[in-house]
């Protein structure tokens, strides 16, 4: 982390020392003064925004940055996802991208000096039909050639890895096999947010929570109010006042299209809720991450003993995050198909997050027709997995003024140039 | 039962009925009516578990559903609330979070190093060396709280019920009962839901008069026809008063989920008594005033012998009376209203022994009862969109104002005498009934087949209730010392202070960092104390800090109840019994169970190619489309042109998603002037129906098209093979099968085997002369049997899905989703003549146009392994020779019984698509073989002579 270390290094020795001396830890990040001018304003204090800020500072020496969030850090998708990471994607672009992300996650605890509790526990994608098994075989063969540790395993092998799964043949959704990806796993999503926030703060990045962006200031554009294409961004108007900045990066989810509209940039995004739920804790019994595309469910058990469930996005586009009863009913039914022995476990809490879906299930990253206005949005259901690498690449994009190769396929211009990308085949339930 | 008090204490236990159970293997007895916890206390067992992190011994704290200290394992059920669950004969009860035993717990050593294990300590360590983290994680996971799942637990009996009451009342205390009674008297159908085991709420542990009043009200509710659900919880309130109720008391089932559409919801959940934060507040023997009163008055259990009572309200005063009635000596009453306070408690490992007061004096005791105030369980109102507001004078949050169809009464909104609470409840019930009546009237008026409404719509009643007063209450959250704030998560006020000091200083951040309020009671006991401690740490008011959003469910619901009777239906054709009786091997294909084959798929192929075969293809998606704008719809969704399809014509079409990726394919026939029948792939049936409705409803609501799915209404049978015309001819008199009268890709309607209104079209997936007939399903068995009877001499035999798959591969027909995938844009199929870029628009056209322009896409080709005995796997990758560069993959492969060699379809990059190109195929085994690209997709009869004959 170089010379810009956080004020106190986290370590076992530190815990011991402060415990003995009854000394408290310093603030994890400052409560910064609100300034009216920055070099870069990043909208969205989630993993993507904070990672972008962190890498702008650490890799490119740009530190006069404000990260603004209308709520608290990690209040959006970063704190609502089910914290699953993997890299067994299907397209070479997807694999390269997520493999880099997994690398960053792997070394993150030490890079950021905060334990993000990456649990490389193995990731199982179940196949319940011939056609699903065919897709698993396909993915395994591609991954094998790409050097990704991923293979199709038999029901007996599945049972050995994850005894709670019912692999008998006479079930409604028999488990015929699974794609097994040992490097996949879970991570403590809040810790990732805090790690990047603390790291960025140490470089002098100002983190403004409870600061809502009300407008994006653009001059000289061809649209109404001088916004839109060929305009130049000059800053943002927030609930705490205006900030002038030549660069504004939209790193939001859920409201990405509304925010971009403020700059006169239209994004091909619809927003759907994705629901999740958690049970009461029990002693750990589920050692792997289990995903079933046919049953629209993925499940893992946290170190605290809770089962965390997620589903696919709700079919209806809405900003309503209140969740539905039907989701919990369908979820429970499907989970009990997979693991009949846990009917007496209880659902403790349900919630929803917002997913910004693009027509090709791929993000929109890089510059926009408004000079100085960048986006890192449209992450659908898998933004968390991609957080670190997105931040790293967006930082390079903003700092160098050119789009790095890794995210070139995701530029906004693809929608008008006919070069859509897609991971739909591999990411039907993308976890 | 050494700690049992004599009657009349113990209202709810039946001393004549003794129940035997075991506690950590030890045989004990209790009475009918006991909770597990009350029975254990009666037996002198006052440590019921250990805390999650420090493994400190824990005893009864609240003696009700929310008690965080008394979750136990009962048989195969983890996390049972011992202070709520009724004792039952033969229960094997054991403590959780103990190792190796409740009395001696090795992990309690964590308590000694507690100062190093501050909240979130794990974020700060275990980072180096990185490779040891999995081992650390393994140890951390050992501290997961809670009971154990027995993976062999059978799926017991769970059920669901739908209900449409006028009024749902959540909470059966005085206000709730009064509301239910008043609503019922006003003519409403009412559900009264109480999560404890009997109605009465706080009256149950009150004075004799209170208990008499409770019984009277409960009886009146029953007499008025209120549906009373005890041991049931209103768990969730979703949009439009869609209310979930977890009913744990329904006979014969473990738990039942009631889904009620309440016209009005009355929140009458009362209040929850808050624990006080001070050093030693989690010692066994420290409990709330409600707990002491419940144990004594309801269960006849003596919670101690010498008590200190710290009271700020009437509940504490009432507890003093209860303790005295139980013969417990009162060592000291510490009255907060007189400025007195307590600072800490201490004791042995297992029990409180003394209390230190604010003035420094120390009082010996074995029971410390606190009455420091109330938390409003605003959870249900939160779910209705209400955001509670803090009232410093009353020292609790109150609802700000829920929507019109949600009303609150009782302790949730104020305080009062029993009579005042009942009066407010009655007024609320009347209002709820009045509002429900308006909704009922509107629903009845809007329902075509309902009886005519009686009179004009009643006026929507305004809320003219006299509000309940809010009693003044001192703000008592934390003493001058630090203690536990979240018992189930073992989070102390000190943890919260240090977390706030570290910058986790908003209520959501502190919750996430320390896990306070995240445990099984979801903050019912902890949230307000957490907020208060945070406010103190930030030097702000509680109102400034605000509270968190409570999410459903109000109380945890078992996965079993949410799932109900597990019933994932499968679909079958009406012919399925015939298939089963005739040796079919079933295969699950999506929702459908279908015959994979009848013993020998290769023989089925040969018979069909030689004689005639029939296959049940009912799962084909079928949509009946009617209206003048059907052609516009077809033109929009299919890539080819549909404006000029004549009546009697059938056309193949390909559909794309908006990204140009192949979505589905099938044939559509024009049956009449404005009448079409569309078929989709079997797996795409529901998806395409949704797709069509999406376009019609969101983009073209002006188009006149009626869409009716008729997939199962029509049983579909394909008759394929050289003898198919002869066979069908024997069954129909009014369809002219002459090839000139009924050519390929045409449709006719007529009578088949005496069944009118059948549809026959000449198409075929198998490459043979074939007729696909759609028969009204009620007559399908007859038609199927007639085909077999009449065709016996023609060699007719049924064939299954596998034979069909082989024949379609021999013919080189691709299957959407198998030979195409989520990345395959339409040009991949090679059907470029069907991709009409000169149409105005169709779904996916711009993307397809770009793809065709760039030419940069793979294509589907037929290929044959050079060694015809090797069948490469469907997934085998095609590589640039000698490298690992992927240039394609095998998408379909079979051994062809017709050609006696292996045949494949593959997707390859254009460079490798030319006929004659040699492909290097990497088998799953790692072996590489070669295959050659064929000139046509069809491996067999590429000219289609058989098909068109």
Q: Distance from A220 to chain B by nearest Cα, in Å?
A: 31
Residue-wise pLDDT for B363-390, tens only, equals: 999 999 999 999 999 999 999 999 999 9
| Residue at which a domain ends, from B710, B732, B763 | B710
Q: How many domains does chain B have?
A: 5
Residues on chain A touching B559 (C-beta within 8 angstroms): 279, 332, 335-336, 342-347
Which CATH architecture does the domain made up of A123-182+270-357 adopt?
Answer: 2-Layer Sandwich (3.30)
Last residue of a domain, one of B789, B817, B845: B817
What is the model's pLDDT at position B111? 66
DSSP assignments along B888-904, one per residue: EEEEEEEEETTTTEEEE
- A141 and B508: CB-CB below 8 Å? no
Instruction: Provide the pLDDT confidence category of residue A231 given band limits of 50, 70 and 90.
Output: very high
Cβ contact, residue pair A71, B383, below 8 Å: no
Say yes or no: B704 and B729 in one domain: no
Which of 211-270 (A) contact B at CB < 8 A?
Answer: none
Residues 6+ away with beta carbon under 8 Å from B852: B827, B832, B835, B837
Tell me which of B403-417, B893-907, B935-949 is least confident.
B935-949
Phi, psi of A371 (to 5 degrees): -60, 130
| B614 plus B685 within the same structural domain | no
Which of A110, A281, A315 shows the shortest C-beta gap to B145?
A281
- The answer to whether B75 faces chain A, any CB pair under 8 Å, is no
Asked if B800 reaches chain A (Cβ–Cβ under 8 Å), the answer is no
Residue A431 has a pLDDT of: 41
Nearest residue of chain A to residue B879 (CA atoms): A145
pLDDT grade for B236, boundaries at 50, 70 and 90: very high
Q: Which of B81, B99, B124 should one mutate to test binding to chain A, selecting the residue with the greatest count of A CBs within 10 A? A: B124
* Residue of higher predicted confidence among A380 and B166: B166
Q: Which residue of B has its CA nearest to A352?
A: B551
Q: Cα Rg for chain B, rounded, in angstroms?
A: 37
Tell me: do B608 and B722 sit in the same domain.
yes
Percentage of residues in chain A with pLDDT exceeding 70? 96
Mutation for B interface: A94, A108, A136, A343, most B CBs within 10 A = A343
| 3-class secondary structure, A247 | strand
Lowest mean pLDDT among A2-16, B398-412, B747-761, B861-875: A2-16
CA-CA-CA-CA torsion sign (B530, B536, B542, B544): negative
Which residues in chain B have their CB less than 8 angstroms from residue A281's CB?
79, 144-146, 519-520
| DSSP state letter for B327 | T
A contact test, residue of B52, B121, B127 with most A CBs within 10 A: B127
CA A423 to chain centre: 16
Residues B751 and B760: their CA atoms lie apart, in Å, by 10
Interface of A with B in 119-148 (CB under 8 A): 119-120, 128-131, 134-135, 137-138, 140-142, 145
Residue B784 to chain A, least CA–CA distance (Å) = 28
Is the pLDDT score of B130 beyond 80?
Answer: no
Residue ranges making up the domain that contains B701: 630-710
Do the Cβ atoms of B126 and A12 come within 8 Å?
yes
* CATH number, domain containing residue B533: 1.10.10
Does A1 have pLDDT greater than 50? no
Cβ–Cβ < 8 Å for B945, B767: no
CA nearest A136 in B: which residue?
Answer: B875
Residue of B96, B138, B144 for testing the chain A interface, max A β-carbons within 10 Å: B144
Residues B649-664, mean pLDDT to the nearest whole number:
94
- Has residue B532 been placed in a domain? yes
Is the confidence at residue B551, as pLDDT, over 80?
A: yes
Shortest CA distance to A153 belongs to which of A133, A129, A131, A168?
Answer: A133
With a pLDDT cut of 90, the percent of chain B lying above it is 85
The pTM of this model reads 0.91
Low-confidence winner among A83-92, B206-215, B289-298, B403-412 (lowest mean pLDDT): A83-92
- Nearest residue of chain B to residue A424 (CA atoms): B822
CB contact at 8 A, A38 and A243: yes
Confidence of residue B548 (pLDDT cuts 50, 70, 90): confident
Residues A280, B853: C-beta atoms closer than 8 Å: no
Mean pLDDT of B129-145: 76
Pair of tokens at residue A93: 């672009």
- In terms of domains, do B908 and B806 share one? no
**Whether the predicted pLDDT of A370 surpasses 60:** yes
Domain final residue, candidates B790, B817, B844: B817
Same domain, B685 and B791: no
- Catalogue the long-range contacts made by B494-498 (C-beta closer than 8 Å, 24 or more residues apart): B494/B118, B495/B118, B495/B119, B496/B119, B496/B530, B496/B533, B496/B534, B496/B537, B497/B533, B497/B536, B497/B537, B498/A24, B498/A25, B498/B118, B498/B119
Question: Are B674 and B610 within one domain?
Answer: no
Q: Is any Cβ of chain A less than 8 angstroms from the Cβ of B889?
A: yes
Residue A2's pLDDT band (cuts 50, 70, 90): very low
Whether pLDDT at A428 is above 50: no
| Contacts across the A-B interface (CB distance below 8 Å) | 302
- Residues B732 and B805 grouped into a single domain: yes
Give the mean pLDDT of chain B: 94
Q: Which of B503, B524, B544, B926 to mutate to test the interface with A (most CBs of A within 10 A)?
A: B503
Instruction: With respect to residue B862, please indicate whether it lies within any of the assigned structural domains.
Output: yes
Distance from CA of B905 to the nearest CA of A (A): 14
Residue A13's pLDDT is: 81
Q: According to the model, what pLDDT value does residue A19 have?
A: 78
Check: complex ipTM more than 0.90: yes
Interface contact A428, partner B, CB < 8 A: yes
Tell how strand A65-68 and strand A206-208 pair up: parallel
Q: Which of residues 576-615 of B touch A (CB under 8 A)?
A: 587-590
pLDDT of A30 higher than 90? yes
Among A18-27, B311-320, B337-346, B923-932, where is mean pLDDT lowest?
A18-27
Say if the Cβ atoms of A31 and B557 lie within 8 Å: no
Residue A418, pLDDT above cutoff 80: no
Domain residue spans in chain A? 21-114+189-269+360-417, 123-182+270-357
pLDDT at residue B109 in the model: 66
A23 at B interface, C-beta within 8 A: no
Task: Give yes or no for residue B18 having a pLDDT over 50.
Answer: yes
Tell me: pLDDT of A71 over 60. Answer: yes
Chain B hits for A115, CB-CB cut-off 8 Å, are 122-127, 133
pLDDT digits (tens, 9 = 90+) for B562-592: 999 877 789 999 999 999 999 999 998 888 9
CATH number of B904's domain: 2.40.30.110
Q: How far is B848 from chain A (nearest CA, A)?
A: 8
Residue B768 sits in the same domain as residue B786: yes
Closest A-chain CA to B74: A344
On the question of pLDDT at A430 being above 60, the answer is: no
* Residue B112 contacts A, CB cutoff 8 Å: no
Q: Which of B125, B238, B886 sits opposite A11 (nearest CB)?
A: B125
B745/B604 same-domain check: yes
CATH 3.50.50.60 holds for A21-114+189-269+360-417: yes
Residues A184-198: tens digit of each pLDDT: 999 999 999 999 999
Residue B593 sits in a domain whose CATH number is: 3.30.1360.120
- Whether the CB of B876 is below 8 Å from some CB of chain A: the reply is yes
**How do residues A129-184 score in pLDDT, each as one tens digit?**
888 999 899 989 999 998 889 999 999 999 999 999 999 988 889 999 999 999 99
Question: pLDDT tens for residues B608-651?
Answer: 999 999 999 999 999 999 999 999 999 999 999 999 999 999 99
Q: List chain B residues with CB under 8 Å of A302.
A: 144
DSSP assignment of B781-813: HHHHHHHHHHTGGGTEEE--HHHHHHHHHHTT-
Regarding whether B727 and B701 lie in a shared domain, the answer is no
**Domain harbouring B254, CATH code:** 3.50.50.60
Query: Is residue B526 within 8 Å of B75, Cβ to Cβ?
Result: no
pLDDT at B110 over 80: no
Residue B17 falls inside a structural domain: no
Q: Are B604 and B731 found together in one domain? A: yes
**B254 and B202 in one domain?**
yes
């Amino acid at each position: 982390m170089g010379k810009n270390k956080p004020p106190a290094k986290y370590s076992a020795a530190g815990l011991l020392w402060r415990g003995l001396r009854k000394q408290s830890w310093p603030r994890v990040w400052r409560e910064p003064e609100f300034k009216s001018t920055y070099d870069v304003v990043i909208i969205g204090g989630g993993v993507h925004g904070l990672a972008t800020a962190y890498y702008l500072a650490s890799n490119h020496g740009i530190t006069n940055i404000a990260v603004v969030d209308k709520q608290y850090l990690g209040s959006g998708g970063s704190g609502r996802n089910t914290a699953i990471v993997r890299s067994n994607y299907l397209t070479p672009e997807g694999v390269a991208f997520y493999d880099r992300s997994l690398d960053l996650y792997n070394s993150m605890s030490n890079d950021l000096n905060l334990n993000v509790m990456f649990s490389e526990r193995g990731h199982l994608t179940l196949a319940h039909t011939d056609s699903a098994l065919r897709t698993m075989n396909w993915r395994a063969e591609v991954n094998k050639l790409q050097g990704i540790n991923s293979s199709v395993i038999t029901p007996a092998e599945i049972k050995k890895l994850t005894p709670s799964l019912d692999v008998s043949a006479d079930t409604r959704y028999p488990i015929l096999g699974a794609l097994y990806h040992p490097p996949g796993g879970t991570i403590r999503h809040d810790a990732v947010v805090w790690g990047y926030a603390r790291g960025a703060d140490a470089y002098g990045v100002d983190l403004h929570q409870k600061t809502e962006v009300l407008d994006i200031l653009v001059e000289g554009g061809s649209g109404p109010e001088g916004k839109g294409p060929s305009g130049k961004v000059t800053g943002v108007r927030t609930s705490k006042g205006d900030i002038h900045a030549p660069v504004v990066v939209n790193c939001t989810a859920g409201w990405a299209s509304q925010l971009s509209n403020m700059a006169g940039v239209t994004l091909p995004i619809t927003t759907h809720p994705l629901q999740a739920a958690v049970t009461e804790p029990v002693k750990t019994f589920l050692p792997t991450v289990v995903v079933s595309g046919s049953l629209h469910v993925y499940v893992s058990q946290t170190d605290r003993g809770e089962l965390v469930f997620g589903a696919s996005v709700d079919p209806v586009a809405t900003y309503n995050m209140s969740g539905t009863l039907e989701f919990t009913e369908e979820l429970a039914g499907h989970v009990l198909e997979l693991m009949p022995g846990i009917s007496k476990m209880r659902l403790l809490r349900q919630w929803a997050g917002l997913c910004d879906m693009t027509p090709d299930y791929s993000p929109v990253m890089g510059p926009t027709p408004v000079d100085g206005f960048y986006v890192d949005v449209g992450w659908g259901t898998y933004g968390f997995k991609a957080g670190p690498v997105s931040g790293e690449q967006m930082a390079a994009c903003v700092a160098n003024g050119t789009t790095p190769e890794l995210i070139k396929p995701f530029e906004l211009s693809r929608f008008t140039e006919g070069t859509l990308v897609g991971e739909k085949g591999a990411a039907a339930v993308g976890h | 039962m050494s700690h049992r008090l004599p009657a009349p204490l113990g209202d709810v236990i039946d001393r004549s009925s003794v129940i035997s159970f075991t506690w950590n293997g030890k045989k004990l007895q209790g009475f009918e009516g006991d909770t597990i916890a009350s029975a254990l206390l009666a037996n002198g067992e006052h440590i019921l578990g250990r805390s999650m992190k420090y493994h400190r011994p824990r005893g009864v704290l609240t003696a009700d559903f929310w008690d965080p200290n008394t979750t136990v394992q009962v048989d195969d059920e983890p996390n049972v609330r011992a202070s709520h669950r009724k004792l039952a004969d033969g229960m094997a009860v054991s403590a959780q979070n103990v190792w190796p035993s409740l009395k001696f717990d090795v992990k309690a050593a964590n308590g000694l190093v507690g100062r190093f294990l501050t909240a979130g300590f794990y974020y700060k360590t275990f980072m180096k060396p990185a490779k040891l983290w999995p081992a650390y994680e393994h140890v951390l996971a050992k501290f997961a709280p809670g009971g154990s799942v027995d993976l062999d637990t059978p799926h017991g009996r769970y059920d669901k019920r739908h209900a449409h009451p006028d009024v749902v009342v959540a909470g059966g205390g005085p206000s709730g009962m009064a509301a239910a009674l008043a609503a019922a008297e006003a003519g409403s159908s009412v559900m009264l839901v109480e999560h404890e085991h009997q109605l009465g709420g706080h009256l149950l542990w009150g004075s004799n008069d209170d208990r008499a009043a409770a019984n009277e009200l409960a009886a009146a509710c029953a007499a008025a026809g209120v549906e009373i659900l005890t041991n049931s919880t209103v768990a969730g309130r979703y949009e439009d008063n869609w209310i979930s109720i977890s009913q744990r008391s329904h006979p014969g089932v473990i738990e039942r989920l009631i889904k009620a559409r309440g016209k009005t919801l009355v929140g009458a959940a009362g209040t929850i008594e808050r624990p006080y934060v001070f050093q030693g507040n989690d010692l066994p023997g420290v409990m709330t005033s409600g707990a002491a009163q419940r144990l004594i008055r309801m269960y006849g259990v003596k919670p101690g012998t010498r008590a200190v009572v710290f009271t700020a309200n009437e509940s504490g005063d009432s507890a003093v009376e209860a303790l005295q009635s139980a013969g417990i000596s009162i060592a000291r009453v510490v009255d907060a209203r007189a400025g007195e306070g307590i600072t800490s408690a201490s004791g042995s490992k297992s029990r409180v022994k003394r209390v230190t007061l604010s003035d420094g004096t120390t009082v010996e005791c074995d029971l410390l009862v606190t009455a420091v105030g109330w938390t409003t369980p605003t959870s249900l109102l939160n779910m209705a969109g209400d955001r509670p507001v803090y009232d410093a004078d009353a020292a609790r949050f109150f609802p700000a104002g829920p929507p019109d169809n949600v009303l609150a009464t009782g302790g949730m909104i104020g305080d009062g005498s029993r009579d005042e609470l009942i009066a407010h409840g009655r007024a609320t019930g009347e209002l709820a009934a009045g509002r429900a009546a308006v909704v009922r009237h509107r629903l009845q008026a809007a329902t075509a087949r309902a009886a005519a409404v009686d009179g004009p719509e009643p006026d929507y009643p305004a809320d003219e209730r006299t509000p309940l007063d809010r009693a003044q209450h001192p703000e008592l959250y934390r003493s001058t010392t630090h203690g536990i704030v979240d018992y189930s998560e073992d989070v102390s006020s000190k943890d919260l202070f240090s977390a706030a000091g570290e910058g986790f200083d908003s209520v959501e951040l502190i919750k996430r960092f320390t896990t306070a309020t995240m445990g099984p009671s979801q903050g019912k006991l902890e949230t307000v104390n957490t907020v208060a401690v945070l406010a103190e740490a930030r030097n702000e008011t509680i109102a400034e800090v605000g509270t968190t959003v409570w999410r459903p469910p109000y109380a945890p619901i078992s996965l079993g109840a949410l799932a109900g009777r597990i019933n994932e239906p499968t679909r079958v054709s009406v012919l399925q019994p015939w298939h089963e009786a005739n040796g079919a091997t079933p295969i699950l294909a999506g929702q459908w169970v279908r015959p994979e084959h009848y013993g020998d798929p290769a023989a089925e192929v040969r018979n069909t190619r030689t004689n005639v075969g029939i296959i049940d293809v009912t799962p084909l998606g079928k949509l009946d489309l009617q209206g003048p704008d059907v052609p516009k719809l077809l033109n929009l969704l299919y890539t080819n042109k549909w404006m000029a399809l004549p009546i009697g014509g059938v056309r193949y079409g390909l559909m794309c998603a908006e990204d140009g990726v192949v979505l589905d394919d099938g044939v559509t026939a024009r049956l009449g002037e404005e009448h079409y029948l569309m078929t989709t792939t079997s797996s795409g049936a529901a998806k395409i129906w949704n797709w069509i409705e999406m376009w019609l409803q969101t983009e073209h609501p002006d188009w006149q098209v009626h869409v009716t799915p008729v997939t199962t209404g029509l049983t579909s049978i394909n008759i394929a093979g050289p003898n198919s015309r002869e066979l069908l001819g024997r069954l129909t008199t009014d369809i002219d099968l002459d090839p000139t009268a009924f050519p390929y890709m045409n449709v006719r309607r007529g009578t088949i085997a005496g069944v009118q209104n059948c549809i026959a079209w000449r198409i075929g997936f198998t490459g043979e002369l074939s007729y696909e007939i759609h028969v009204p399903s009620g007559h399908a068995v007859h038609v199927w049997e007639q085909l077999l009877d009449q065709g016996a001499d023609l060699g007719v035999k049924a064939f299954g899905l596998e034979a069909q798959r082989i024949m379609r591969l021999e013919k080189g027909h691709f299957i959407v989703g198998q030979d195409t995938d989520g990345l395959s844009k339409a040009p991949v199929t090679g059907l470029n003549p069907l991709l009409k870029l000169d149409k105005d628009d169709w779904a996916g056209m711009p993307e397809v146009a770009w793809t065709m322009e760039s030419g940069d896409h793979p294509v589907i080709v037929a290929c044959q392994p050079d060694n015809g005995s090797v069948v490469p796997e469907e997934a085998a990758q095609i590589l640039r020779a000698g490298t690992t560069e992927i240039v394609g993959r095998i998408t379909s492969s079979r051994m062809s019984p017709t050609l006696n060699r292996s045949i494949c379809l593959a997707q390859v990059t254009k460079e490798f698509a030319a006929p004659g190109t040699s492909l290097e195929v990497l088998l799953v085994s790692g072996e590489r073989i070669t295959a050659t690209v064929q000139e046509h997709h069809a491996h067999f009869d590429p000219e289609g002579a058989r098909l068109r004959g």
